[in-house]
Structure 1
Amino acid sequence: MPIKTLLAAVLALSVVPVAPAVARPDPLRQDAEQITAVGVTGVLARTTSQYGRSRTVTDGVAELGRRRPPRADGYFRIGSTNKTLVATVVLQLVGENRMRLDDTVEKWLPGYVRGNGNDGRLITVRQLLQHTAGIYDGNFPSIDTAEQYYQRRFAIHTEEEIVRAGLSHAPDFAPGTGWKYSNTGYDLVGLVIKAVTGRRWYDEVERRIVRPLGLRHTYWPGTSPGIKQPHAKGYTRFAAGERYVDTTQLIDVDASGGYISTLADLDTFQRALFDGRLLGRAELREMTRTVPVDETATQLWPGARYGLGLFSRDLACGGTVWIPGGDQLGYRTRLAVTGDGERSAVVSMSSQLYDSLDVVFAQDNAARRLIDRAICS
C-alpha cells in the first residue's frame, strides 16, 4: 500500500467521533451565585466535610465597577460572631474556677449597674451572655443612613460609654423574664472580663483563642478604620432605590463586635469550639443550653434558639446546627457547625441589603440554603 494511502487510512481510523463532555453541576458554586443574584456584590463560601476536606468558592466582584473577583483568603468584619469569642473566654474562666456563670454583675462591678430600674445585684453573667438580662439596647450607637455613615464612621465608642448609655434607660424587662438581643449587654460582659482578669476582652481573646489555634489572619483592629489586604470592599444599601454605599471603613472597638478574620480562620474556630480544643465538656454543655428567642429570629432561622454567644437552628434535612454568625456595615457573615464539630460551613457576603424586610430575608435565606445543602450532603 502506498505510504500516502496508508497514512490516510490510519488517520481515518483514529478520528472517532467523541460525545462532548457534559460538565457536572457544582452545587456550592450554584448556591453562591444565588446569593449574588439577590444583589450581594461579593460572596466567599467554605465548607468542610466530616473527613476534614475543605472547599472554597467565590462569586461576584471585590469592588463595584471592576471585574476583579473576591479572594477566598480575603479579610472581612465578623460582626456579632465576636460575641461567640467573648462567650468562649467567659466559659474558659468558668472552667478555671475563676468565676461562675451565675455570679451577679454586682460581684465583679460593685455599684456599677444601678439606677433607672437597673440593678446589677439581680443580673447574672449567664443572663448577659444569653440576652435574658433585659439590658436596654436602644441607645447602642447605630448607623442607619448614608449620611450617618459619613458622620459617624470614625467615632470611637468604648464599652464603658455604651453601657452608661444603656443604663440611662429603664430595662426592657426584669432579668430572666424575657429574651431580647442586646449588644450593650455584651459590652457589660467585656467589663466583667476585665474585672476578673485585669485585661481587656480582646487581649483575652488573643491570648486564649487566636494564638492557641494559630489563627494568623484573625485580629482586633483597634481604632484603625481599615481592613488588611486582601479584602473585598463592603457595601451597604440603606433603602430601596438607593445606591450601594462603600462602607468598608469603620471604627468598631467594643465587645459586641469588632474582630476581623477570614473564612479559614473562622472555620477553624467554630470546629475547635465543638471538638474539645477550646472548652471542656461541662462548659460546652452550658454554652449549648438554649432558651427561646423572639419572633424575628425564628422567622429568619426556623427553630432558632439561643445558647451562650450563639444561636442554634433547624437544618433543612433535620437536626440542629449551631450558627455563631454576625453582621456589620458592609459585611454579613454566616457560620454553621454540627454539634460534633465535624461538618461546617462559612459564608461571607460583602454587602448588607436593607431595601426591605423581604430583601433582608432573601439574602439570609440564600446563604442558609448554601449552608444547609453543604452540611446535609
Structure 2
Amino acid sequence: MTKSLKTFRRTGVTVLAAALLTGVAVPAASAGQDRPELRQAVQEFVDNGYAGMQLRVRDERGEWTGSAGVRELGGTAKPSTDGHFRVGSTTKNFTATLVLQLVAEGKIGLDTPVVGVLPRFGFDRRITVRMLLQHTSGLFNHTGELLPDGTIVPGIPWSGQEWVDKRFHTYQPEELVRLSLSKPPRFEPGASWSYSNTNYVVARLLVEALTGHSFADELDRRILRPLKLRDTLSPGSWSGMPKPYAHAYYTYDDAGRQKTLDVTHQNPSWISAAGDMISTTKDLQTYFSALQSGKLLPPWLMTEMRKTHPKSESLFGRYGLGQFVQDLGPGCVGTVISHNGSNNGYAALMYSTPDGSKTMTASVTAGATASDAKFPDALNKLLKTVFCGK
C-alpha cells in the first residue's frame, strides 16, 4: 500500500447519526488539563446520537485531547484520541494544496484551461484550474445532483443497498470523470457555484499529468513526509483501516427493515481525491496549522485560496479554493478557515484561525439510527466553545 460536510452530504454522503447510547463513559482528557467546557461539547455529540467522538484543540492554553462514546457498538472502550478515521471531503483541502504548489512552481496557472493538460476528455475550453478548485466549473457531480426543482439526477451508487452491495468495488478516476461528462453541465463555466466531487477527481488527474507520478506519491513527497504525517494516507482502492480506529456504521433500508452494518472497511475509490483519505486528529492539526501559517504555499496563493465565491454560502461559511472561510461573529476570534468531510459512517472536522495558531480537529463516528437534525447546533456550540470562549 502506498502511504500516502454546505453540509457533510457534500462529499456525496450524509453523516449518519447513531443510536443514543446509554452508559456513555466520561470523555478522556489530556493529562494536566481539565477543560470541562470541551468535555461537555464532545459529550453533546454523543448525547445527540453519535456513537463516538474524538477532539483535539490547540490554543493559547496548549493542546487538549478528549473522547466520548464508544469505539465499537456493544463495547465500553472509548474512541482513541489518536485513532485513524476516513476524513471524507477534508481530502479536498489536501488536493487543492497540491495543485496550488504546482501553480507556485509555474507548472500551470490558476486560469489555465484544463483541456490543454487533459485533452483526452474533451472538457469545455473555458474550464480552468481555478474553477475546479472553487466548484464553479459547472461539471455534473458524479455522485449525483439535486436540482433546484427537487429532481434527483443519480450518479454512481453511494447510499442504500446498492452502495452496500458495491462497497468494495474499485472505480477508476477516468471512469468517474467520463460519467460526469456524460451528463449535461449544471451551468456555463464560471457562471455560478455548485459543489461537485468531480472537480477534485479532475484535479487529481491534473497532478498526475503534470508530475508524471501518482497522486498518492505526490501527496507523500510534497506534504506527508515534510510534515511527518505518518498516520495519513491516500488509500486508493485499499479498503483497510490502520489501527487504532473507532468502528463506523451505516444504517440503510433492507427490504423495508432498517439494518445497521459495520462499514469500517470500504473501498473509497468512488470518491477518489475528493474524499478518500485517512488521517488522525493530530496529523490534521499539524497539516492545517502548517498550511494556514504559510509553510506550504506562498502568500499570494494563500490570498487566492481565501477568496470566496458569493454564491457558496453554507453552514461552514463561503468557499474559496479548497476551503471554507467563516466569520463566527462578535466576541469570537473573527475568521476561521475549515474543510470538514464525511464518508459513510465517519465524519471529520478541521478548523483553524488564519494564522494557524488555534486549531480544532475531530472525528465523529455514526452508530445505528438517529437524525442529523441536531448536528448543526452541536457543531455551532463546539465552535463557540473553542473559538469564542463560550
For the 8 Å contact 1:109–1:192, the answer to whether it is kept is yes
Question: Which TM-score applies when normalising by structure 1?
Answer: 0.85
Structure 1 residues 213 and 168: CA distance shift in structure 2, 3 A: same
Equivalence for 1:329: 344
Identity rate, percent: 37
The 8 Å contact of residues 84 and 310 in structure 1, kept in 2 or not, is answered as yes
Q: Name the counterpart of 2:165.
A: 151
Tell whether 2:300 aligns with 1:282.
yes
The structure with higher relative contact order (CA 8 Å, sep 6+) is 2
1:1-377 to 2 correspondences below 5 Å: 26-50=36-60, 53-114=62-123, 119=124, 121-137=125-141, 138=144, 140-145=155-160, 147-238=161-252, 242-253=258-269, 254-294=272-312, 298=314, 300-301=315-316, 304-315=317-328, 317-318=331-332, 319-351=334-366, 359-377=371-389
Distance in 2, matches of 1:81 and 1:272, equals 15
Q: Could you tell me how far apart the structure 1 residues matched to 2:92 and 2:324 are?
A: 11
Kept after mapping to 2: 8 A contact 1:329/1:352: no
The structure whose Rg is larger is: 1
Contact 1:102 1:124 in 2 (8 A): yes
2 CA distance for matches of 1:88 and 1:221? 18
RMSD of the alignment, in Å? Answer: 2.0
Alignment size in residue pairs: 339
Deviations 1:164-199 (A, max 9, x none): 000001100001111111001111111111111111
Q: Which residue of 1 aligns with 2:20?
A: none
Q: Is the 8 A contact 1:354 1:360 kept in 2?
A: no
Q: Which ranges in structure 2 are unaligned for 5 or more consecutive residues?
A: 1-33, 145-153
Most deviating of 365-374 and 260-269: 365-374
Residue 273 of structure 1 aligns to a residue whose secondary structure is helix
Report if aligned partners of 1:238, 1:354 keep a CA contact under 8 Å in 2.
no
Deviation at 1:363, TM superposition (A): 1.9
Decide whether the 8 Å contact of 2:91 with 2:274 is kept in 1: yes
Per-residue deviation, 1:149: 3.5
State the one-letter code of the partner of 2:204: G
Q: 318-327 or 263-272, which moves further after superposition?
A: 318-327
The offset of 1:125, in angstroms, is: 0.6
Q: Is the 8 A contact 2:113 2:129 kept in 1?
A: yes
Tell me the TM-score normalized by structure 2. Answer: 0.82
Q: Per-residue deviation at 1:241?
A: 8.6
